[in-house]
Amino acid sequence: MELLTIVHSQKIEYIPIIYAFIGKIKRHILFFDHAKQERAFAQELKVSIEKLYAKYNLKTEIKMIKIDEDSKKDMQQIAQVFEGKSHDIYLNGAGADTALFTVLSSIILRNHGKVLAYDNEDNSYNIITQNGFTNEKIKNSMNLEDFIILMGEEILDEMNKGEILAQKDALNLLFLDVKRMFDIRFLLKQRKTKELKKRYPQILKALKTLGIVNDEYIIKGQEGFVKFGYLFEAFIYLQLEGFDFDDIKVGVKIRFDKEQVARRNIEVTNEFDILVIKENKIGFIECKVGDSHDPLGTVYKSDSIMEYFGESASSLIVNIERKKYLKNKKSKMNFGASILLRAETKKVSIYNTFYFSRNSFRNKVKKRFEVDIKPEFLEAEKRKSLNELVQKWER
């Protein structure tokens, strides 16, 4: 097939179609406006497509065509090029300028080609012909690495999910009881090793497994205490393990293309606690342990990231904190009512708690990212209780 893509700044709107037909595209024409900035977008996309095809050892011819939508001559030349072409030509113009999309659609349709209209909410597309249209659900949705490649970025580093799974029992034991976790963290920070051994002997083996204490159960310098933040990211990943996401990555560091950095208000490298993707919709999870010094700033950070990744992106902030005033049932939480309201208007959900609950957390994830837990995971979970987990570490 021959794919014609109208290039513009919001790549997330048209790259799902490019990916859906990966391996089938023999020739790819990138139409871009005559403005200098649009040429940069087209060149950026060309490089991204080439990287993706190189990854899968595939080949396609890519051609860039500059076009002025206000030029009658340009439109006439395009019409001549596609005169009498076959039905193997497809136009991908999701999110493009209406005038340009309308003119090119007319040219393609009258020459027996097809026009693709992508629906990012339903992750489907309409195939429009002279005779009508049909709707197709996208079966080949992007994984995170391929999504990042097509967005023009590069993964520099990420946490090893195999290692996280190997530490699953220790992570669950440490974080499922939030009050105990904060007590342990405080004792470690104060280097009260004897009191730690006396009050929580069952947790010592788990702390050793997680690299927080050494063989003598003494904290490994400042590093052992700082690791709680990274370990909490790993713990949250384990809570996502049973959901039917298409892909999940933890502790991801991404380098953005220099041209993108120059054009947009973003850093050269950005770190994400957890990235998820489901049917071409990207999601972000920010993990916080303890009192966030700037809850509103955390909300705005999530909002700015989502703005770059398109309207279908969504975000969840997970913050667990110590209940400072145990006798006060109305102890003030970090993310107050006004911040929660502001976050919701920006498609940012917040799970702020003194006591971590798997059920309430799962409900928050389901609602925010529109995912479900895989039935086989629920069945396996029933066969393993938290009591069995605790007994294992007390032996």
How confident is the model at residue 216, as a pLDDT?
77
Which burial class, exposed, middle or buried, applies to 36 when counting CB atoms under 10 A from its CB (0-12, 13-18, 19+)?
A: exposed
Average pLDDT of the residues in 129-147: 94
Q: What percent of the chain has pLDDT over 70?
A: 88
| Residue 97 sits in the same domain as residue 230 | no
How confident is the model at residue 253, as a pLDDT?
94
Q: How many domains does the chain have?
A: 2
| Maximum Cα–Cα distance across the chain | 84
Cβ–Cβ < 8 Å for 52, 25: no
Amino acid, single-letter form, for residue 82: F
Average pLDDT of the residues in 344-370: 89
- Of 81, 116, 140, the domain-final residue: 140
In this predicted structure, the answer to whether residue 181 has a pLDDT above a threshold of 70 is yes
| Residue 220 sits in the same domain as residue 357 | yes
How confident is the model at residue 233, as a pLDDT?
96
How confident is the model at residue 261, as a pLDDT?
56
Average pLDDT of the residues in 81-96: 83
How confident is the model at residue 169, as a pLDDT?
93
| Residue 322 sits in the same domain as residue 255 | yes
How confident is the model at residue 322, as a pLDDT?
81
Does residue 306 lie in a domain region? yes
Name the 3-class secondary structure at 312.
coil
Residue that has been written with the tokens 């950026």 in this structure = 44
Does residue 150 lie in a domain region? no
- Of 108, 140, 172, the domain-final residue: 140
How confident is the model at residue 255, as a pLDDT?
87
Distance between CA atoms of residues 39 and 35, nearest Å = 7
Nearest to 274 by CA among 342, 152, 361: 361
In this predicted structure, the answer to whether residue 164 has a pLDDT above a threshold of 70 is yes
Does residue 212 lie in a domain region? yes
In this predicted structure, the answer to whether residue 387 has a pLDDT above a threshold of 70 is no
Which burial class, exposed, middle or buried, applies to 121 when counting CB atoms under 10 A from its CB (0-12, 13-18, 19+)?
A: exposed
CATH number at residue 370: 3.40.1350.10
| Residue 226 sits in the same domain as residue 299 | yes
How confident is the model at residue 284, as a pLDDT?
93
| Residue 233 sits in the same domain as residue 351 | yes
Beta bridge partners of 249: 275
In this predicted structure, the answer to whether residue 15 has a pLDDT above a threshold of 60 is yes
| Residue 351 sits in the same domain as residue 215 | yes
Distance between CA atoms of residues 292 and 275, nearest Å = 21
Sign of CA dihedral 49, 54, 57, 61: positive
Residue that has been written with the tokens 């994400």 in this structure = 272
Does residue 146 lie in a domain region? no
The domain of 188 spans: 156-394
| Residue 163 sits in the same domain as residue 134 | no
Distance between CA atoms of residues 156 and 271, nearest Å = 10
Does residue 145 lie in a domain region? no
Does residue 149 lie in a domain region? no
**Taking all residues of the chain, what is their mean pLDDT, rounded to a whole number?**
86
- Of 82, 110, 140, the domain-final residue: 140
User: And the tokens for 183?
Assistant: 């007590």
Which residues contact residue 186 at a Cβ distance below 8 angstroms, ignoring those fewer than 6 apart? none
Instruction: Quickly state the pLDDT bin for 4 (edges 50, 70, 90).
Output: very high
Instruction: Quickly state the pLDDT bin for 328 (edges 50, 70, 90).
Output: low
pLDDT digits (tens, 9 = 90+) for 207-239: 999 988 888 777 776 666 678 889 999 999 999
Amino acid, single-letter form, for residue 283: G
How confident is the model at residue 137, as a pLDDT?
95
| Residue 187 sits in the same domain as residue 124 | no
In this predicted structure, the answer to whether residue 186 has a pLDDT above a threshold of 80 is yes
CATH number at residue 15: 3.40.50.10770
In this predicted structure, the answer to whether residue 265 has a pLDDT above a threshold of 80 is no
The beta-strand segments (E) located in the chain are 2-6, 27-33, 61-67, 89-92, 114-119, 124-129, 132-137, 153-157, 247-256, 269-278, 281-289, 314-320, 348-353
Does residue 350 lie in a domain region? yes
Q: Which of 213-217, 304-308, 333-337, 389-393 has the lowest mean pLDDT?
A: 389-393
Higher pLDDT pick, 339 / 55: 55
| Residue 224 sits in the same domain as residue 104 | no
| Residue 375 sits in the same domain as residue 339 | yes
Average pLDDT of the residues in 257-261: 62
Average pLDDT of the residues in 90-101: 89
Q: pTM for the whole thing? A: 0.88
In this structure, what are the phi and psi dihedrals at residue 347, rounded to the nearest 5 degrees?
60, 35
How confident is the model at residue 293, as a pLDDT?
65
How confident is the model at residue 386, as a pLDDT?
55
Instruction: Quickly state the pLDDT bin for 156 (edges 50, 70, 90).
Output: very high
Which burial class, exposed, middle or buried, applies to 173 when counting CB atoms under 10 A from its CB (0-12, 13-18, 19+)?
A: buried
| Residue 309 sits in the same domain as residue 163 | yes
pLDDT digits (tens, 9 = 90+) for 19-63: 999 999 999 999 998 776 788 889 999 999 999 999 999 999 999
Average pLDDT of the residues in 348-359: 89
| Residue 100 sits in the same domain as residue 203 | no
Does residue 348 lie in a domain region? yes
